[in-house]
Amino acid sequence: MKTTAVTPVVLGLLAHGPRSGYDIKTVVDRSTRFFWAASYGQIYPELRRLEREGLVEGEQAPRGGRDRRVYKLTPAGKEALVEWLLGDSVTIELRDESLLRLFFADALPHEQALLLLEGRKRGHTEYLQILRAIDARPGADPTFVDLVLRWGIEFNEWGARWCEEQLKRLRAKTAA
């Protein structure tokens, strides 16, 4: 099976039950987007490809006069998901535009560059609010969903602290 960046997201979410492309995007926006985003432009073509390959099955399920196709995982799709889960490739790669901007911030006047760091701190703080709201929902998430949520909370707590420390350090360096 050919794997794209969204294959594991689609297969993994369908392992929890049938969903439309819209449903998948909705769940992604509330969960994996914090570390693994997927757009409609990636999800819908991937669903069609996976259906052609026999890893998912789709059926028309119109809702309110709108065309809607709901997909479910096939046994071959479940097998492909398990194969990916147990695979020996473990790449830790984050795309972080804010960090990329900081990397090139020396091209800006110092005060403007510090604004990028302040923006990053705000981003961590905003993510923390979202993740803590998710954490406060009633009911229990599956064990490993909760584990990833804990990682997100702790990572963003650390990130906000780190930004504050670096702002103090860089401002003190400038004042000296």
Helix (H) or strand (E) holding 116: helix 110-135
3-state secondary structure at position 137: coil
Q: Is the pLDDT of residue 176 over 80?
A: no
pLDDT at site 121: 98
Q: Which tens digit of pLDDT belongs to each residue from 61-72?
A: 988 878 899 999
Give the whole-angstrom CA distance, residue 104 versus residue 9: 32
Q: Is the pLDDT of residue 89 over 90?
A: no
Chain mean pLDDT for the chain: 94
31 token code pair: 């969960």
Higher-confidence residue of 138 and 176: namely: 138
Q: Is the pLDDT of residue 119 over 90?
A: yes
What mean pLDDT comes out for the span 14-42? Answer: 94
Residue 101 burial by Cβ neighbours in a 10 Å radius (0-12, 13-18, 19+): middle
Are the CB atoms for 11 and 50 separated by under 8 Å?
Answer: yes
Q: Is the pLDDT of residue 50 over 90?
A: yes
